[in-house]
Amino acid sequence: MNRTDLSILLQEGEGSMLEYKESLSSALSRELVAFANTTGGKILLGVRDDGSVKGITDTNDIRARIQDIARNCDPPVKILLTHIDTVTIITVRESSEKPVQCSDGFFWRQGAVTQKLTREEIRTFFQKEGAIRFELSVSPKFRYPEDLDEEKFTNWLSQSGISPNGNQENILVNIETTERSGGKLLFRNVGILFFAKDPRRFFNQAYITCILFQGTTNVRILDRKDFAGGAVADIEDSLRFIERNTRLAYKIEGLKREEIPEYPMASHREAITNAVMHRDWFIEGANVFVQIFSDRIEIISPGGLPPGMQQTDLGHKSVRRNPIIADLYHRIGFIEKAGTGIERMREGARESGCPEPVFDADGFFTVTFTPMETPEDDRHQDGTKIAQRREKMDLLKICQKESTLVEILSYFGRTDRTKFRKHILQPLVEDGLLELTIPDRPTSKNQKYRITPAGKEVLHEYLSEITADKR
C-alpha cells in the first residue's frame, strides 16, 4: 500500500470493509472480530469518522499492543500492519475458523457498523459456518431404550450387512448415531431420525409430504399423504405414492407385455434420498415435499445448496451438509458414493427416455422431472400390439378346450381359413403355446387345437396382469 492507496481509502468513507478509528483502545478487538467474521477489511488508526487525519505515532509499543489484541481473540485474528505518514493501516483477514469472538462477545460487520450478535444470530451464524451440526447434536429428550424402535434398527442392520449379534450400544456408537457421557448412552439427532419410534415427536420437520394435484397448478389437491415413519420408511412410502399416482406405458414383445413407468423411478429414489440427506435440518418450519402435477414431478428440499456449493457445481462437486446421514444411507444402498447423485438422476432419466431433470436452488432445492414423450405413431403401434396380444390370449382361452378351426373362426368372426391358420395359429404352435391333436395331418378336417402347459403359463400371467390393472 502507498500514499495514493491511502488517499483513496480516506475519500472512500467507512463501509463494510473499512473502519476509521482516532486512537488505539481495547475496543479495537470488536472491529478485528467483526471483520474476521465477515469478509475481512481494513482499519485506519489515526483517522476521524469524517475521514480527516488526526494521526497516530508509529511505535513498537503500539504495534505490540495491536498484535496482542489480535492474538487474544478466539481464535486469534490474522492481521498485517502498515504505517503511511501518520496513519496505521490494519489489514484484517477473513478467518477460516469462524466464528471468532473477543472478551466482549461475538461481532460481525453490517455495512459501516460493527454489530454485536444476539443469541439467535450467534446460533444462526454457527449453523451457517458449520460450527454446529444438526446430526451430531445430542437430544436431551430422547430416552434409551424406551424411545428406540427395535424393528427399525434391526431392519437397518439387515440391509447394511452388519451382524445383529454384536452389542447394540457399541454398534450405535460406532455408526455415530450415539455417544457415551457419564456412563449414559446419549442419542444424537441423526440416530433419532433413523431409529426413533416417533421421530416427529422430537423434530416436527421430520416428515415428507406427497401431494397429487389436478392439472399443472397447485390449486386442487386430489390426494395427499404425510409420511413420518423415519428416514428410511419415508423414502419408500414416497416412492410408492409416486408409483400409485403416475401412469404406465406398455411395450409389447410377442405375447409379453412390459410395463414402463412414465417417470424414471430410480432417479426419483435418488432425488428423494438427496432431499432428506442434504436438507437443512435447522429449518424447523419446512419439510421435504413431493408434488405430482399432470406434466411434471417436483421434489423440494428446504435449505438450498450447502455452503460452498454453486448451482454450476452440480454433478461435478460434492459438499455434504449431513455426512453421517449420508453414510447411513450409503451403508444400506440408498445412495452410492458421494458426489454421484446428480449424475445418477440425469442418467436414470436418459435411460428411461425422459428429459433430464431441471435443478433450481433458491432458498429451497428443487428437482423437476418431466415424463417421457411418446410420439403419436408409437402410441398407435402400441395400441395395435395390445389388441393383437389380446386376440391371441382369447385364442389360448378358447383352446383350453380342444377346438376346431371352424369353431375358432366362428368365435372371432373370421372367414379366411388359410390366412388365419398361417398368421395366427401357426405362430402359436411354433412357439409351443398350442398343439395339434393330429400333428401329422395339419389340414385334416378333424384337426383340433389345444393349449399346452407353456400356453397355460402365458395365459395365467396375462390374466394376472388384467386382474392387477382392474385394481
Overall average pLDDT of the 41-50 stretch: 94
Residue 425's closest CA among 392, 400, 398, 461?
392
What pLDDT is recorded for position 301? Answer: 94
Cα 48 from Cα 387, distance rounded (Å) = 90
Overall average pLDDT of the 407-413 stretch: 85
* 289-348-467-452 Cα dihedral, nearest 10 degrees: -170
29, 67 contact by CB (below 8 A): no
265-278 and 233-244 helices, crossing angle to 10°: 140
What pLDDT is recorded for position 414? Answer: 82
- CATH classification code of 3-128: 3.30.950
CATH T-level fold of 376-470 = Arc Repressor Mutant, subunit A (1.10.10)
Residue 175's closest CA among 371, 360, 324?
324
Tell me the three state secondary structure of residue 375: coil
All three cell numbers of 51 = 475521514
pLDDT band at 461 (very low <50, low <70, confident <90, very high): confident
Residue 131 has pLDDT above 70, yes or no: no
| Pick from 109-113, 168-172, 327-331: least confident | 109-113
Looking at the domain covering 208-321+331-369, what would its CATH class be?
alpha beta
What pLDDT is recorded for position 423? Answer: 83
What pLDDT is recorded for position 173? Answer: 93
What share of the chain in percent tops pLDDT 90?
Answer: 48
Fold identical between 208-321+331-369 and 376-470?
no
Cis peptide before 145 (omega within 30 of 0): yes
What pLDDT is recorded for position 376? Answer: 46
What pLDDT is recorded for position 57? Answer: 93
What pLDDT is recorded for position 183? Answer: 84
Overall average pLDDT of the 217-231 stretch: 92
Q: Annotate 244-262 with b (16+ C-beta within 10 A) or e (fewer).
A: ebbeebeebeebebeeebb
Sketch the domain layout of the chain as residue ranges. 3-128, 136-202, 208-321+331-369, 376-470
> Following DSSP, what letter does each residue of 261-282 receive, concatenated?
ESS-HHHHHHHHHHHHHHS-TT
Overall average pLDDT of the 201-228 stretch: 92
DSSP H helical ranges for 332-404 = 341-351, 376-398
